[in-house]
Amino acid sequence: MIHVVNLYPFYETNSKKLSSIIHQLQKEDNSLYEAAVKTNRQIIGALAKESKKVIFAWGDCPKLFDKQSFNKQCHDVKLLLKDMNQDEAFVIKTNYNKLLTVKDSPRHPSRPELKWLEPYQESAV
């Protein structure tokens, strides 16, 4: 079985719209936003524990997105998963020479020419 999860518990194909959705919810009901994020982290942790492989693939922070919030989400997920077996963690290899992006993020699967998975290394993500 394959489980796909997102850093944020909200989905929108257009990251500009997702940023607006997040900001609006934070403004209108920040406690609801925080509860949704906390639940999302719990789900990520539970699914990772029962998975044979975990693939990091969130990409760089989208333009016009709150970089501080994005970086916190990435950091929190990495902390959540840091105790997992390193043989189970991977990133996506593409046609780029460098495994990670210029900003040291694991590549997002929407990028062209996905090739295979490479093992996660602590310094890589």
Q: What is the pLDDT of residue 125?
A: 44
Both tokens of 31, joined, read: 């406690």
Mean pLDDT of the 4-15 span: 84
Q: What is the pLDDT of residue 124?
A: 45
pTM: 0.78
Q: What is the pLDDT of residue 101?
A: 82
Mean pLDDT of the 27-53 span: 90
Q: Is the pLDDT of residue 122 over 80?
A: no
Residues sharing a CB contact under 8 Å with residue 121, sequence separation 6 or more, in sequence order: 86
Q: What is the pLDDT of residue 62?
A: 84
What are the pLDDT digits (tens) for 59-108?
Answer: 888 887 888 888 888 888 888 777 666 668 888 888 778 888 888 888 88
Mean pLDDT of the 40-69 span: 86
Q: Is the pLDDT of residue 35 over 50?
A: yes
Domain boundaries, the chain: 15-119
